[in-house]
């Protein structure tokens, strides 16, 4: 071989081996940074469990939670049945002119709309659900269903409807269908003209009914657009318009031009006698504006809202359509006639809007236009204060009827299409004999509900409270909505002409108002309080007005219906009652903790001042968005950044400033005390008291390394600990149910997979055969049931599925508030009302918890928008924050035993919730008595800056006690990318090679570790573990493979280089010798 | 100077081009992420610049082959450092929840780094001097 050729070969070999070796080293580094995820990907556990069988002694029962099911098929079929029940009771009938519904079973229908062949089962992101066994609209209409024998094999029943086949094949199946993402949304229906051109259209006269099913999607990471036109640097992210937005004026929550054309085309066909009925199904969690429903030019005969329908909800809705089941849902949100008349939208960052301090650059901050997440520069003001949703529409209505000054022009019908709580039935009900008796701190309410129609049915009974709004309230800036939901009940099935007495116990606690500027705590202010029974919020106000002796006649028609004052009960409080200044959960004093949330009371406010909505001046305080010259104009509150804000934004994440040296002793590490976690579970099923001294002995067994690992590995799991035999836990999404298959441990699932599935432990033959957990309807549907028993069933099922599938934690449920329908995650949240959210979630979470699945209720709190969710600064009054937002979480923790929380990405004022000590320690721990883990949302987004600049320090938040666990899989001790640029090891004791002197941080790490370990102890992760069980860390197969490859290519690179060098030397020597 | 260039083969001009490309890449990468330092690997920037300058200096002292090897190694190291620091962003985009398209900063940085690496690698095999080295 010639020298030149040989040299080229040598270079090529070196290059090849070196490049492969270099990329292998990089891959190894990245793989070890994400070790548990990689391990999960390859389907093995990084901890192997083995059991030491004692030579003597009896075998112990290690199943600590009892299932109501015997095998996986029963679990799956149970989920199917419960989801049907949820959807039956949560579907809301909005309109049914001339008894257009029910349809006759077997009747012939033509399908229209973008969801006819593209069912909206569930949202995206953490609201995503299993849809592998879902039943589409078409399949449901064709009579498909599941049976108990094999609940993943669809069965064919009788047709509910005969679908126009040619139209379905040539239009429904070919229409684009809706789609949405962070940067584009499409409604995707065809125009009437296009539909008329397809084969099958001409046959519509043979198909009596036109069913139009339309959907709007949504999901994590983006809000829905209200427009496609924005102006750079005024309030847009980057001034670009949303791509592919085909909504009317770019508004996703209106009928699109094509949908308008379809409905009007159908109306023309109906007028021509070719279509008998038009039925509209709103298959969406975020409802569109509905001012067209009563517009005669559209001709819609019946309309129902289904939310996202979960895996099987189409079957339930089909049964409702033909009258096999009866409607009994009440809307869990206000259905707006016109979105422009929803004032909250003025201060909401929908997909294209993004409010930023005009002067942020003065303080060295940058807008992250590419990532859509400027973690320091964006803000939102909850200017509406207490007047959110129906609390605005009904309060202003009451003031308008009563002729209060400065109420302004207010046409209720142009604002509200259907009020909060509204829902029709195939029958009618009458409420009477309203009685309220006070028994201690409980108001015992009873209402007689008579079925006055001719079909059996159920109905919600909603109880509202009207609180005084007088001089004291005005003087102390307390805002008081006209009526507020305080509790509810639901009747059983009532036969025609029968009467049932519905009894509801109303907790006096919710009479109290948060009085920020007066008492600085919750108080029942002196005055008259009314409890009101009603079918919806608007009826409640009319009942209240009737109680105040107003009538339509006496108000010149401003009052739109005669109320029923017999459904109002009055109670007087003569003096200030401070009973609820103390937490009912813990007995601790509740006091102002969030002055920094309200820009008007924040010390660093500078010249900023916000005028919140006030009942005393609707006209002057409410600013509505307008659409003009092709642009949506939002009269949002403009704020400027101050130096104090900038300092606090930076300082809170600066470990070098936050973490101070101290002289506190470090905890003991690595002690050999012979304790195992299972020892803390007693024979009777109770647990060692959290404050027991014995815990210290157990925790002393942890090593420093284990502690750091435990706190650094929290992405959908908690880590295993060999020193105390703590099993790892799988904690999975989400708010709409579990999202995994029934498999063997690990190997599948979102991030880590099931850890300890009961189905696997008992050797169920269906493990690994594709049976999956239930995808439930959007939570707004569950709330619309107004049925706590169904919520409990759903929660229990989610718990069962966790037990059988191997998850000990549920990253849910979603208890943020549907502040506006444009919120991307409406499907995960329950309602615009915190009481309804909390009272439905409480039985649900309690039931889930009862199966050893700990709920991480989320996103606690104030995560009402997605577009700017990372680090957005939210400004709000403490009263509104507590009563309209925190309350949902508070009820779920106090009444629903929710064990853990997941914090939000947002900020309260300038303080990231994950960094906020008042939020964690004052509210969650001291007031609510939260026992378990406070976990961040996906912490990498905040500490690692994947979407913009890092804004939360994972070490600072543990140090301050704001957070216990950062939900991320850091490498063992990853750098904090915030200002501190430190690792845990930089604070280690000298015995571990650290500098020492940070005992307080170590103690706080120990406390967080204890919370995590305590949560594991009380979860189903302990099932299968006895005092004889030990776990041992092993090296998993992929590690051997990677190391072998590294050694191989490293050696080859070395050999190739050696060959070249030797050859050069030999050649040179030969040359020299010549 | 004329004599210096007379001894150089066309590979030398490729070295000049790749070195220039490396410096441009370093500059573009820096400008792309100057406001998002989380994704800015300073070692990558300096390695690129160092590789380019080193290759040129070695060429001047007639150690052309060593220079091309240095440039290739530096551009490979820079690419690896970039991947190491940016992979989280790629994962976020691929997951598609918060972002679903790669931004211009990422695309331009990636393309330039890859081009620099490929260019420098190919350059290793190109003749740098006119005088025959091996017979």
Which residues of B fall within a CB distance of 8 Å from A1065? Answer: none
Spatial separation of the C-alpha atoms in residues A51 and A514, rounded to whole Å? 54
pLDDT exceeds 60 at position A761: yes
Nearest to A910, CA basis, from A517, A644, A636: A644
Nearest CB among A3, A373, A977 relative to B98 is that of A373
> Among A377-391, A492-506, A848-862, A1035-1049, whose mean pLDDT is lowest?
A1035-1049
Residue A577 backbone dihedrals phi, psi, to 5 degrees: -105, 120
Per-residue DSSP letter, B96: T
Burial of A643: CB neighbours in 10 Å, binned 0-12, 13-18, 19+: exposed
Nearest CA distance, B3 vs chain A (angstrom): 25
Nearest CB among A3, A11, A368 relative to B36 is that of A368
Spatial separation of the C-alpha atoms in residues A218 and A225, rounded to whole Å? 11
| Cβ contact, residue pair A3, B135, below 8 Å | yes
Spatial separation of the C-alpha atoms in residues A455 and A590, rounded to whole Å? 49
pLDDT of residue B7: 79
Query: What value does the mean pLDDT take over residues A7-15?
Result: 92
Tokens 């064919």, residue located: A156
Nearest CA distance, B126 vs chain A (angstrom): 10
pLDDT of residue A339: 96
Residue B100 touches chain A, beta carbons under 8 Å: yes
Query: What value does the mean pLDDT take over residues A67-96?
Result: 98
Each residue of A321-378: pLDDT tens digit? 999 999 999 999 999 999 999 999 999 987 777 788 989 999 998 876 555 557 899 9
Residue B103 touches chain A, beta carbons under 8 Å: yes
- Binned at pLDDT 50, 70 and 90, residue A510 comes out as very high
pLDDT of residue B135: 39
Asked if A785 and A844 count as a contact pair (C-beta separation under 8 A), the reply is: no
Each residue of A849-884: pLDDT tens digit? 999 999 999 999 999 998 888 999 999 999 999 999
Each residue of A394-423: pLDDT tens digit? 999 999 999 999 999 999 999 999 999 999
| Cβ contact, residue pair B101, A183, below 8 Å | yes
Asked if A303 and A774 count as a contact pair (C-beta separation under 8 A), the reply is: no
Mutation target for B interface from A364, A370, A733, A872: give the one with most B CBs within 10 A: A370
Spatial separation of the C-alpha atoms in residues A1026 and A942, rounded to whole Å? 39
- Binned at pLDDT 50, 70 and 90, residue B119 comes out as very high
pLDDT of residue A976: 73
| Cβ contact, residue pair A945, B103, below 8 Å | no
pLDDT of residue A741: 87
- Binned at pLDDT 50, 70 and 90, residue B128 comes out as confident
CA dist A120 to A2, A770, A810, Å? 69, 22, 23
| Cβ contact, residue pair A947, B98, below 8 Å | yes
Residue B93 touches chain A, beta carbons under 8 Å: no
Mutation target for A interface from B41, B98, B99, B128: give the one with most A CBs within 10 A: B98
Query: What value does the mean pLDDT take over residues A88-97?
Result: 98
Mutation target for A interface from B41, B99, B101, B106: give the one with most A CBs within 10 A: B99
- Binned at pLDDT 50, 70 and 90, residue A521 comes out as very high
Most distant CA atoms of chain B, gap in Å: 60
* Chain A residues whose C-beta sits inside 8 Å of any chain B C-beta: 2-4, 7-8, 11-12, 15, 18-19, 22-23, 25-26, 29-30, 124-125, 181-183, 219-221, 366, 368, 370-373, 870, 940-941, 944-950, 977, 1067
pLDDT of residue A233: 41
pLDDT exceeds 80 at position A1074: no
Nearest to A119, CA basis, from A142, A136, A95: A136
| Cβ contact, residue pair B88, A946, below 8 Å | yes
Which residues of B fall within a CB distance of 8 Å from A30? Answer: 84, 87
Q: What is the mean pLDDT of chain B?
A: 89
| Cβ contact, residue pair B97, A220, below 8 Å | yes
Mutation target for A interface from B97, B117, B128: give the one with most A CBs within 10 A: B97
Rg over alpha carbons for chain B, rounded to the nearest Å, is 17
pLDDT of residue A843: 98
Query: What value does the mean pLDDT take over residues A657-684?
Result: 95
Spatial separation of the C-alpha atoms in residues A310 and A128, rounded to whole Å? 10
Percent over 90 (pLDDT), chain A? 78
Asked if A810 and A828 count as a contact pair (C-beta separation under 8 A), the reply is: no
pLDDT exceeds 50 at position A1039: yes
- Binned at pLDDT 50, 70 and 90, residue A181 comes out as low
pLDDT exceeds 90 at position A231: no
Spatial separation of the C-alpha atoms in residues B15 and B69, rounded to whole Å? 10
> Among A909-923, A971-985, B17-31, whose mean pLDDT is lowest?
A971-985
Each residue of A126-153: pLDDT tens digit? 999 989 899 999 999 999 999 999 999 9
Percent over 70 (pLDDT), chain A? 93
Comparing A565 with A33, the larger pLDDT belongs to A565
| Cβ contact, residue pair B92, A8, below 8 Å | no
Nearest CA distance, A11 vs chain B (angstrom): 8
pLDDT exceeds 90 at position A574: yes
Nearest CA distance, B72 vs chain A (angstrom): 9
| Cβ contact, residue pair B36, A948, below 8 Å | yes
Spatial separation of the C-alpha atoms in residues A356 and A873, rounded to whole Å? 10
Nearest CA distance, B107 vs chain A (angstrom): 12
Reduced to 3 DSSP states, what percent helix, strand and coil does chain B have, rounded to the nearest 5?
75, 0, 20
Which residues of B fall within a CB distance of 8 Å from A22? Answer: 76-77, 80
Query: What value does the mean pLDDT take over residues B86-96?
Result: 82
| In chain B, where the domains are located | 2-122
Which residues of A fall within a CB distance of 8 Å from B88? Answer: 940, 944, 946
Query: What value does the mean pLDDT take over residues A176-182?
Result: 66
Which residues of B fall within a CB distance of 8 Å from A950? Answer: 38
- Binned at pLDDT 50, 70 and 90, residue A163 comes out as very high
Residue B38 touches chain A, beta carbons under 8 Å: yes
pLDDT of residue A420: 98
pLDDT exceeds 50 at position A747: no
Nearest CB among B35, B80, B91 relative to A22 is that of B80
Q: What is the mean pLDDT of chain A?
A: 92
- Chains A, B: CB contacts within 8 A come to 82
Nearest CB among A12, A183, A870 relative to B100 is that of A183
Angle at Cα A842 formed by Cα A838 and Cα A846, nearest 5°?
Answer: 160
Separation of CA A680 from chain center: 33
pLDDT of residue A1047: 97
Residue A456's contacts (CB-CB under 8 Å, 6 or more residues apart) are A326, A427, A493, A494, A495, A496
| Cβ contact, residue pair B124, A11, below 8 Å | yes
- Binned at pLDDT 50, 70 and 90, residue A469 comes out as very high
> Among A219-223, A308-312, A468-472, A672-676, whose mean pLDDT is lowest?
A219-223
| Cβ contact, residue pair B105, A370, below 8 Å | yes
Which residues of B fall within a CB distance of 8 Å from A8? Answer: 125
Nearest CB among A29, A182, A940 relative to B99 is that of A182
Spatial separation of the C-alpha atoms in residues A628 and A630, rounded to whole Å? 5
Nearest to A943, CA basis, from A646, A729, A655: A655
| Cβ contact, residue pair A26, B36, below 8 Å | no
pLDDT exceeds 50 at position B133: no
Spatial separation of the C-alpha atoms in residues A734 and A732, rounded to whole Å? 6
Nearest CB among B38, B103, B134 relative to A945 is that of B38
Q: Could you tell me which chain B residue has the CA closest to the CA of A370? A: B103
């Amino acid at each position: 071989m010639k020298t030149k050729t040989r040299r080229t070969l040598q270079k090529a070999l070196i290059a090849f081996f070196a490049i492969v070796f270099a990329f292998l080293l990089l891959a190894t580094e990245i793989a070890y940074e994400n070790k548990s995820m990689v391990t999960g990907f390859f389907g093995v556990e990084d901890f192997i469990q083995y059991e030491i069988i004692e030579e003597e002694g009896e075998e112990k029962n290690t199943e600590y939670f009892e299932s109501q099911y015997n095998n996986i098929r029963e679990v799956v079929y149970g989920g199917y049945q419960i989801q049907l029940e949820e959807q039956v009771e949560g579907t809301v009938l909005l309109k049914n002119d001339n008894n257009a519904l029910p349809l006759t079973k077997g009747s012939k229908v033509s399908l229209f709309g973008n969801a006819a062949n593209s069912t909206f089962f569930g949202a995206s992101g953490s609201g995503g659900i299993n849809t592998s066994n879902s039943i589409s609209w078409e399949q449901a209409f064709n009579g498909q269903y599941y049976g108990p024998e094999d609940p993943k094999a669809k069965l064919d029943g009788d047709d509910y409807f005969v679908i126009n086949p040619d139209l379905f094949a040539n239009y429904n199946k070919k229409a684009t269908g809706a789609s949405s993402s962070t940067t584009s949304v499409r409604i995707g229906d065809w125009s009437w003209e296009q539909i008329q051109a397809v084969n099958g259209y001409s046959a519509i006269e043979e198909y009596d009914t036109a069913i139009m099913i339309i959907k709007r999607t949504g999901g994590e990471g983006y809000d829905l657009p209200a427009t496609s036109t924005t102006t750079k640097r005024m309030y847009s992210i980057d001034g670009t318009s949303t791509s592919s937005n085909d909504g009317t004026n770019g508004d996703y929550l209106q009928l699109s031009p094509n949908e308008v054309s379809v409905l009007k085309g159908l109306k023309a066909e109906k007028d021509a006698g070719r279509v008998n009925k038009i039925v509209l199904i709103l298959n969406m969690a975020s409802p569109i504006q509905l001012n067209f429903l009563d517009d005669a030019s559209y001709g819609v005969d019946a309309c129902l809202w289904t939310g996202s329908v979960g895996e099987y909800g189409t079957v339930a809705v089909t049964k409702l359509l033909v009258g096999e089941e009866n409607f009994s849902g009440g809307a869990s949100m206000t259905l707006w006639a016109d979105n422009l008349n929803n004032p909250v939208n003025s201060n909401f960052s929908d997909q294209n809007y993004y409010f930023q301090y005009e002067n942020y650059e003065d303080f060295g901050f940058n807008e992250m236009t590419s990532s859509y997440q400027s973690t320091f520069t964006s803000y939102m003001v909850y200017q509406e204060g207490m007047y959110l949703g129906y609390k605005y529409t009904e309060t202003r209505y009451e003031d308008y009827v009563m002729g209060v000054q400065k109420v302004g022009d207010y046409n209720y019908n142009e604002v509200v299409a259907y009020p909060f709580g509204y829902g029709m039935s195939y029958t009618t009900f009458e409420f009477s004999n309203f009685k309220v008796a006070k028994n201690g701190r409980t108001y015992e309410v009873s209402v007689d509900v008579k079925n006055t129609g001719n079909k059996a049915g159920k109905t919600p009974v909603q109880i509202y409270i009207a609180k005084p709004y007088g001089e004291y309230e005005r003087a102390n800036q307390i805002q008081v909505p006209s009526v507020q939901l305080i509790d509810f009940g639901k009747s059983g099935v009532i036969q025609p002409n029968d009467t049932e007495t519905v009894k509801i116990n109303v907790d006096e606690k919710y009479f109290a108002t948060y009085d920020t500027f007066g008492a600085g705590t919750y108080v029942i202010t002196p005055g008259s309080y009314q409890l009101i029974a009603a079918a919806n919020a608007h009826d409640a106000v009319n009942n209240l007005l009737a109680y105040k002796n107003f009538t339509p006649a006496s108000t010149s028609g401003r009052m739109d219906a005669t109320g029923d004052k017999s459904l109002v009960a009055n109670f007087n409080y003569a003096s200030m009652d401070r009973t609820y200044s103390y937490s009912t959960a813990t007995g601790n004093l509740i006091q102002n903790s969030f002055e920094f949330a309200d820009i008007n009371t924040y010390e660093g406010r500078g010249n900023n001042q916000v005028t919140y909505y006030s009942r005393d001046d609707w006209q002057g305080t409410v600013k509505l968005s307008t659409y003009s010259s092709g642009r949506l104009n939002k009269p949002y509150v403009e704020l400027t950044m101050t130096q104090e804000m900038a300092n606090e934004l930076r300082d809170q994440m600066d470990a070098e400033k936050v973490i101070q040296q101290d002289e506190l002793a470090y905890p003991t590490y690595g002690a050999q005390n012979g304790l195992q976690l299972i020892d803390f579970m007693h024979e009777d099923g109770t647990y060692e008291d959290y404050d027991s001294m014995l815990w210290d002995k157990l925790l002393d067994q942890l090593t420093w390394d284990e502690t750091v690992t435990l706190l650094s590995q929290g992405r959908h799991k908690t880590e295993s600990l060999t020193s105390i035999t703590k099993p790892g836990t799988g904690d999975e999404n989400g708010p709409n149910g579990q999202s995994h298959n029934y498999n063997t441990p690990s190997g599948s699932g979102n991030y880590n997979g099931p850890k300890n599935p009961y189905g696997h432990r008992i050797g169920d033959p269906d493990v690994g055969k594709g049976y999956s957990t239930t995808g439930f309807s959007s939570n707004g549907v569950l709330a619309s049931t107004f049925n706590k028993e169904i919520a409990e069933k759903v929660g229990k099922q989610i718990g069962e599925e966790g037990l059988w599938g191997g998850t000990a934690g549920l990253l849910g449920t979603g208890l943020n508030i549907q502040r506006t329908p444009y919120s991307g995650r409406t499907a995960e949240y329950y309602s615009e009302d915190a009481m309804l959210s909390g009272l439905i979630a409480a039985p649900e979470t309690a039931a889930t918890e009862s199966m050893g699945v700990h709920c991480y209720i989320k996103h606690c709190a104030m995560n009402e928008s997605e577009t700017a969710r990372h680090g957005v600064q939210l400004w709000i009054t403490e009263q509104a924050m507590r009563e309209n937002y925190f309350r949902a979480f508070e009820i779920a923790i106090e009444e629903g035993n929710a064990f853990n929380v997941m914090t939000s990405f947002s900020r309260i004022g300038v303080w990231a919730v994950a960094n906020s000590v008042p939020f964690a320690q004052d509210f969650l721990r001291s007031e609510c008595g939260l026992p378990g883990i406070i976990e961040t949302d996906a912490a990498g987004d905040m500490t690692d800056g994947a979407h913009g600049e890092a804004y939360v320090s994972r070490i600072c938040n543990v140090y301050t006690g704001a957070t216990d666990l950062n939900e991320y899989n850091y490498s063992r001790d990853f750098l904090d990318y915030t200002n501190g640029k430190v690792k845990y090891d930089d604070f280690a004791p000298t015995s571990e090679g650290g500098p020492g002197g940070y005992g307080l941080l170590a103690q706080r790490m120990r406390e967080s570790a204890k919370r995590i370990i305590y949560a594991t102890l009380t979860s189903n992760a302990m099932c299968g573990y006895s005092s004889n069980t030990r776990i041992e860390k092993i090296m998993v197969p992929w590690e051997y493979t990677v190391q072998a490859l590294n050694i191989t290519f490293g050696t080859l690179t070395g050999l190739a280089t050696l060959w070249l060098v030797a050859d050069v030397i030999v050649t040179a020597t030969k040359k020299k010798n010549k | 100077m004329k004599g210096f260039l007379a001894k150089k083969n066309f590979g030398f001009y490729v070295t000049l081009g790749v070195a220039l490309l490396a410096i441009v890449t370093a500059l573009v990468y820096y400008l792309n992420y100057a406001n998002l330092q989380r994704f800015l690997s300073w070692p990558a920037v300096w390695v690129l610049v160092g590789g380019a300058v080193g290759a040129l200096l070695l060429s001047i002292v007639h150690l052309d082959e060593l220079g091309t090897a240095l440039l290739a190694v530096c551009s490979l190291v820079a690419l690896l450092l970039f991947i190491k620091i940016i992979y989280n962003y790629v994962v976020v985009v691929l997951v598609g929840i918060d972002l679903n398209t790669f931004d211009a900063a990422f695309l331009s940085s990636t393309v330039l780094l890859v081009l620099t690496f490929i260019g420098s690698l190919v350059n290793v095999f190109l003749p740098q001097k006119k005088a025959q080295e091996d017979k």
